[in-house]
Structure 1
Amino acid sequence: MENERKMMIFCLLLAALCSPVLTGEWTATVPKNLDALVTSCVVIPCSFTQAKERLPHSRLRGIWHRPASRDDCIYHEDKTQIVENFRGRTELLGNLGDGNCTLLMTEIKDHDDGPFCFRIELVPTGTETSKIEKFSFVNDCVRFKMITEPPKPTLIHLKTAVQGRSYTITCSVRHTCPSHVPKLTWSRGTADDINELHREIHGGFWEVQSTLIVIPEEKDDHTDITCTAKFNGLRTSTEKMTLYIKRKENYNHIIIPAVVGIGTAVIFGGLCIFMMKKYKNRIAELQNQEGSMWNRLSRLSRRRV
């Protein structure tokens, strides 16, 4: 029991010694690789931990640069420090005081492949004369996989729609720029027929999803429905599907002939009954007439005798 207690204390001390906060170590987390659509934009998720006390945003300066040279800045709060190729194309989205160093890069060019690294600097207060502390995270940088064609949307739907019943089609597309979400549009339907969802799949990759609900009619059979994805930078891609309509089950082909048959039988039966009654009445009349004549002849014969 005593040995177990000592082992637990040892593990706690080891964890405390290895903790970046307690050891005064600054750390940053960025994705290693991201897809980048040329002419569009990319958001680089970035977070960092501060050593010791938590400093406000005003005491921190975030810089993004290439690892080969810390002066090769792609983002700096002093715009004159940014290399000309990236001026006006980068923006820090996160609040440094919250440990958020997320960067937006727009108008992606085919040579913006990186790597790009984050650096944090501690800005001294007005009373401090010490040198600016700098922490670069050159072992945690991001590279871009350059994509020249926008990804095509993916459509999910049942193979066959039923006439007059609700039919759902889901269109989705992945991207890496949540600050400028791709716009999904449909070739039919109204805003009331469409639901949208935007979610993060994993670090730096997002998905926008649009669900269309239609009530197909017989005339919609073999017609196309198209989903269009419009990305930042006016790049578009499309995907379409063909509606196959299963008509409602009806029994007219059985009911109508049956009704006609029953109607014909009723009419024919009624006619037969009418003819039978008429025939019987005629026989009765003839029998009555014959009886009357016989009676008259009988009376006449008796009178002559």
Structure 2
Amino acid sequence: MDKDRKMMIMGLLLAVISSPVLTEDWKAKVIKSLEALVSSCVVVPCSFTHPEGNLPTSKLRGIWHISSNRDQRIYYDDSTTVIESFRGRTKLLGHLGEGNCTLEITDVRDHDNGPFCFRIELAPVAGSTLEKFSFVEDCVELKMLPDPPKPTLTHSKTAFQGLPFAVTCTVFHTCPSHDPKLTWSRGTAEGITEARRRSHSGIWEVQSILTFIAEEKDDDTELTCTSTFNGGRTSSEVLTLNVKRKENYNHIIIPVVVAVGTAVIFAVFCILMAKKYKTRIAELQNQEGSMWNRLSRLSRR
């Protein structure tokens, strides 16, 4: 009898010890804090792991709730159990069966700050009870942005006349399902290249690269990049162009050309005059010679 009691107590102890170990295998990874632009949307990265092997999405139910009260749900399949202020504004991105519990909140309002936590339910099989796992130690808190972040412009300091000049406009955001749209105050679609990528957890960036040929008329003019966010809010950044003109040596070349031209003309004139004088002298010498010959013939006579 004592032996049976000891075995029962030992079994209970093992159950108590092993229970938290099993629950610890259910783990969630949620970003701790994230900025959210009011009127736009925000995507909260979330993933989880479990010891149950491959579970289909149909057997899992994801829940997002306010950290202080599990019954205050901001997302659930049954929207009637969701807080009215969040109803129709939240959804899961990805599939729970793949361990993806990413949450999207649209039409962000200034009171959507959280913290919000993830909870999962495992649908019961015949003869079992509903299993629930809450991850209240891994919650996200949102920092509300009343104004959109401004884009940043990167470029070389000086543009050179007649050469291509590139300016990159970059803006960071937390709404990858509705990327901000970047537009320029000048340029054509052929001269614009866009790129989108994930910067780090919860933060994405959009880049627009404008390339154009800088002209003299562009010097001291303004170039503006405008970012339009989901919800209609905009922000802009302005660049004042500094175009370096091509070197102009006309102030040196023209006087030199005039001086050289004058010297050449004067030299030609001198040569012509000298030639003319030489010809005249030769003629005079010929006349003097012929006259002397005449006098010589007369003296002989």
TM over 0.5: yes
Per the alignment, residue 151 of structure 2 pairs with 153
Displacement of 1:112 in angstroms is 0.6
The 5-angstrom pairing of residues 247-286 of structure 1 reads 247-286=245-284
The 5-angstrom pairing of residues 57-136 of structure 1 reads 57-124=57-124, 128-136=126-134
Query: Which letter maps to 1:80?
Result: T
Residues 22 and 85 of structure 1: is their aligned pair in 2 closer, same or farther, counting only changes over 3 Å?
A: closer
Counterpart secondary structure, 2:280: helix
Structure 2 runs not aligned, ≥5 long: 1-16
Query: Which letter maps to 2:263?
Result: A
Q: Which moved more, 1:235-244 or 1:50-59?
A: 50-59
Q: Tell me the distance in 1 between the aligned counterparts of 2:50 and 2:184.
A: 47
State the superposition RMSD in angstroms: 2.0
Query: Which letter maps to 1:25?
Result: D
Counterpart secondary structure, 2:88: coil
Residues 242 and 21 of structure 1: is their aligned pair in 2 closer, same or farther, counting only changes over 3 Å?
A: farther
Q: Which moved more, 1:166-175 or 1:229-238?
A: 166-175
User: Which of residues 122, 128, 136 in structure 2 aligns to 1:138?
Assistant: 136
The 5-angstrom pairing of residues 107-256 of structure 1 reads 107-124=107-124, 128-256=126-254
Q: Tell me the distance in 1 between the aligned counterparts of 2:267 and 2:130.
A: 112
Q: Using the aligned pairs only, state the percent identity.
A: 66
Q: Is the 8 A contact 1:21 1:51 kept in 2?
A: no
Q: Is the 8 A contact 1:194 1:210 kept in 2?
A: yes
Deviations 1:131-188 (A, max 9, x none): 2211111111101111101111111122221111121211111111111111111111
TM-score relative to the length of structure 1: 0.88
Displacement of 1:129 in angstroms is 4.1
Q: Is the 8 A contact 1:59 1:123 kept in 2?
A: yes
Q: Is the 8 A contact 1:36 1:147 kept in 2?
A: yes
> Are residue 26 (structure 1) and residue 26 (structure 2) matched?
yes
Counterpart secondary structure, 1:179: helix
Counterpart secondary structure, 2:178: coil
Counterpart secondary structure, 1:270: helix
Q: Is the 8 A contact 1:24 1:52 kept in 2?
A: no
Deviations 1:5-27 (A, max 9, x none): xxxxxxxxxxxx99x99776211
Deviations 1:249-268 (A, max 9, x none): 24333233222222221121
Matched length: 284
Displacement of 1:272 in angstroms is 0.7
Q: Is the 8 A contact 1:22 1:52 kept in 2?
A: no
Q: Tell me the distance in 1 between the aligned counterparts of 2:119 and 2:283.
A: 124
Displacement of 1:31 in angstroms is 0.8
Q: Is the 8 A contact 1:46 1:101 kept in 2?
A: yes
Q: Tell me the distance in 1 between the aligned counterparts of 2:252 and 2:90.
A: 71
Q: Tell me the distance in 2 between the aligned counterparts of 1:67 and 1:288.
A: 128
Q: Tell me the distance in 1 between the aligned counterparts of 2:121 and 2:258.
A: 92
TM-score relative to the length of structure 2: 0.89
Residues 101 and 23 of structure 1: is their aligned pair in 2 closer, same or farther, counting only changes over 3 Å?
A: closer
Q: Which runs of 4 or more aligned residues in structure 1 lie more than 4 Å from their structure 2 counterparts after TM superposition?
A: 20-24
Deviations 1:178-219 (A, max 9, x none): 111111111111122122222222211122122211211001
Query: Which letter maps to 1:113?
Result: N
Q: Which moved more, 1:135-144 or 1:257-266?
A: 257-266
Q: Tell me the distance in 1 between the aligned counterparts of 2:282 and 2:54.
A: 122
Q: Is the 8 A contact 1:197 1:208 kept in 2?
A: yes
Q: Tell me the distance in 2 between the aligned counterparts of 1:124 and 1:289.
A: 142
Query: Which letter maps to 2:230?
Result: N
